[in-house]
Amino acid sequence: MVLSKTASETDVSIHSTFASRYVRNSLPRFKMPENSIPKEAAFQIINDELMLDGNPRLNLASFVTTWMEPECNKLIMDAINKNYVDMDEYPVTTELQNRCVNMIAHLFNAPLGESEAAVGVGTVGSSEAIMLAGLAFKRKWQNKRKAEGKPYDKPNIVTGANVQVCWEKFARYFEVELKEVKLREGYYVMDPAKAVELVDENTICVAAILGSTLNGEFEDVKLLNDLLVEKNKETGWDTPIHVDAASGGFIAPFLYPELEWDFRLPLVKSINVSGHKYGLVYAGIGWVIWRSKDDLPEELIFHINYLGADQPTFTLNFSKGSSQVIAQYYQLIRLGHEGYKNVMENCHENAMVLKEGLEKTGRFNIVSKDDGVPLVAFSLKDNKRHDEFEISEMLRRYGWIVPAYTMPADAQHITVLRVVIREDFSRTLAERLVLDIQKVVHEFDALPAKLNARLATEKQEQVKNGTVKKTAIETQREITAYWKKYVTERKSNNKTQIC
């Protein structure tokens, strides 16, 4: 959900050139119109505005799938009106969801018997999956503390400072203290040893990340498991592990099958994965799998019968579409192990093409690792004149959406650009991106140094000399005025040359 806001009073209507043959008056922007309009006009008005959105294929900030085969697109559209929660009305869709859960559980090496069904559920995404897993850990911990006659009002969870914001949401929404292992320059994932040091009797679980959002790196879940086993023996606790494999869960089994991070490790009790990331499905599907029935408290499962039959449910959302579940099943049977392996290998190879191209420029340090999620995170070797945020902004002129961000504490002084390599990002696009980055860098070389840095120096001089200080808004206005003047002069020069 995005918090909405209204525009100024001078911008309260929607105008459409193409719709003018149907609609002679402007439509209100934030109030429902009094009268109906033709369907063609409604379509054109919305279509015109959507043209201003970015191109999803060039959105290199996102891990989310932006392309699927036409056959799967048709299945999605055919199921767009099916409510996933109505299991009695749509039993086949429910069956497909159960098949997906079991396929993913086997992919993660769940210890299942020959005829034993896996324990898991489809979710809207990994955020919901993490909420459900966290609630299961919290309830199990509370039940154990109650049985022991101990306080159960101060649960905590240990993570790295590199966790995705959904972990912060879980902690805040469900009143769990979040104990973060700080990062450091050159090491941008959770240190297992430091994580175990933070564990106490109130820790409901330690969350490990298989594929950090910041640089794609896999955390060492095996080492975390081994250290935590020793601590549990020493203390008598039974602190478990949850693996947030949102990005890496559909990568590691195919690229790094020998890597131990999943249910092969005894303390890993639950795993979440995003089907809409490297599960290769459009946005709106995630999965959470538990090691066994004992790891999901029965009291968290609700049973309803007002849709026609007894239906167990454990989700935060109720009604939702069936399309993404069907799409996930399509990808699993369409690609199989061979197909997923080919896709992931291709993504990794294209990431290496991009990495090598950036290294050849001599201008960037590569922050990401070769092993992990196929992405390239990089920073300028010298950002005294111009920084990563300016490069990110300038690349938008070429259509690329490449995010720039600072690392979390205690590495917040490091600024990084990141390119996520998805299935639809070809080698040709990788080579084109390198060329466009080079253009941007060369253009910046011809520009004056960052004005904000110069103004900061001037402000320090003013303070030193006792002259009048500029307010933040005054400084910002001066920066804006400077760049407006600079851009205007460049446009004027270009027009003169053309004439």
Residue 399 lies in a domain: yes
Establish if 189 belongs to a structural domain: yes
Alpha-carbon distance values, 36 to 23, 41, 48, 334 (Å): 10, 10, 19, 44
Same domain membership, residue 207 and residue 315: yes
Question: Do both 92 and 195 map to the same domain?
Answer: yes
Lowest mean pLDDT among 15-19, 165-169, 181-185: 15-19
Give one word for 323, left, alpha or beta, with left for phi > 0 and alpha for psi -120 to 50: alpha
Token pair listed for 313: 């449910």
What CATH number has the domain bearing residue 209? Answer: 3.40.640.10
> Does the pLDDT of residue 338 top 90, yes or no?
yes
Q: Which of 98-107, 124-133, 261-270, 481-490 has the lowest mean pLDDT?
A: 481-490
Asked if residue 410 has a cis previous peptide bond (ω within 30° of 0), the answer is yes
What single-letter DSSP state applies at residue 375? E
Q: Give me the domain span that covers residue 114.
A: 74-334
Same-domain status, 299 and 415: no
Structure tokens of 351?
Answer: 């990431």
Structure-token match 């039993």, residue found: 91
* Domain identity same for 300 and 355: no
144: buried, middle or exposed (CB in 10 Å: 19+, 13-18, 0-12)? middle
Q: Over the stretch 437-469, which tens digit does the pLDDT of each residue have?
A: 999 999 988 877 665 555 556 556 665 665 555
pTM of the entire structure?
0.85
Domain-embedded: residue 479: no
* Residue 213 sits in the same domain as residue 284: yes
Judged against a pLDDT cut of 50, whether residue 216 lies above it is answered with yes
297 and 417, same domain (yes or no): no
Q: How many CA atoms lie within 13 A of 320 on its CB side?
A: 19
Output the six-digit token pair for 276.
């809409």
Q: Is residue 2 part of a domain?
A: no
Beta-ladder partners of 28: 13
Q: Output the pLDDT for position 497.
A: 46
Sheet holding 404-406, edge to edge: 364-366, 375-380, 415-420, 404-406
Same domain? For 252 and 365 the reply is no
- 221 and 89 in a single domain? The answer is yes
Interior angle at CA 249, CA 244 and CA 250, nearest 5: 155
59 within some domain: no
User: What is the amino acid identity at position 242?
Assistant: H
CA proximity to 120, closest of 290, 318, 320: 290
307/328 same-domain check = yes
Residue 247 pLDDT level (bands cut at 50, 70, 90): very high
Strand-pair category, 415-420 with 375-380: antiparallel
Q: What is the 3-state secondary structure (H, E, C) of 149-208?
A: CCCCCCCEEEEECCCCHHHHHHHHHCCCEEEEECCECCECCCCHHHHHHHCCCCEEEEEE
Q: Rounded to whole angstroms, what are the CA distances from 316 to 85, 184, 242?
A: 12, 35, 19
Q: Do β-strands 311-313 and 302-304 pair in parallel, antiparallel, or remain unpaired?
A: antiparallel
Output the average pLDDT for the chain: 88
- Phi/psi for 417 (5° steps) reads -105, 145
The helix (run of H) or strand (run of E) holding residue 486 is helix 472-498
Tell me the β-bridge partners of 378: 366, 417
Q: Which helix (H) or strand (E) holds 74?
A: helix 70-78
Query: Is 494 a domain residue?
Result: no
Q: Is pLDDT of 490 > 90?
A: no
In this structure, what are the phi and psi dihedrals at residue 308, rounded to the nearest 5 degrees?
125, -20
HEC states along 393-430? HHHHHHCCECCEEECCCCCCCCEEEEEECCCCCCHHHH
* 180 pLDDT more than 70: yes
Which of 334, 368, 387 terminates a domain? The answer is 334
Considering the domain architecture, whether residues 148 and 259 belong to the same structural domain is answered as: yes
Q: pLDDT confidence of 488, banded at 50, 70, 90? A: low
Closest CA relative to residue 137, chosen from 188, 176, 90, 88: 176
Task: Name the phi and psi angles at 413, rounded to 5.
Answer: -80, -5
Boundary (domain end) residue, out of 334, 355, 374? 334
Quote the pLDDT of residue 72. Answer: 97
Pairing state between β 119-123 and 27-28: unpaired
Question: What is the number of other CB atoms lying within 10 angstroms of the CB of residue 291?
Answer: 24
User: Could you count the other beta carbons within 10 Å of the beta carbon of residue 139?
Assistant: 17
Identify whether residues 86 and 102 lie together within a single domain: yes
Residue 209 and residue 358 in one domain: no
Confidence of residue 319 (pLDDT cuts 50, 70, 90): confident
Query: How large a percentage of the chain has pLDDT more than 70?
Result: 83
Q: How many domains does the chain have?
A: 2
On the 0-12 / 13-18 / 19+ scale of CB atoms within 10 A, 11 is exposed
pLDDT tops 50 at residue 137:
yes
Question: Does a structural domain hold residue 174?
Answer: yes
**Cα end-to-end span (Å), the chain:** 50
Residue 300 has pLDDT above 70, yes or no: yes
Among residues 431, 446, 461, which one ends one of the domains? 446
Which pLDDT tens digit goes with each residue over 403-437? 999 999 888 889 999 999 999 999 999 999 999 99
Q: Say what the pLDDT of residue 496 is.
A: 46
- From residue 92, give the alpha-carbon distance in Å to each of 75, 312, 324, 497: 14, 16, 14, 67
The reply to whether 477 falls in a domain is no
Instruction: Find where tokens 């649960």 sit.
Output: 155
Q: What is the CATH number of the domain that holds 383?
A: 3.90.1150.160
Strands (E), 18-95: 27-28
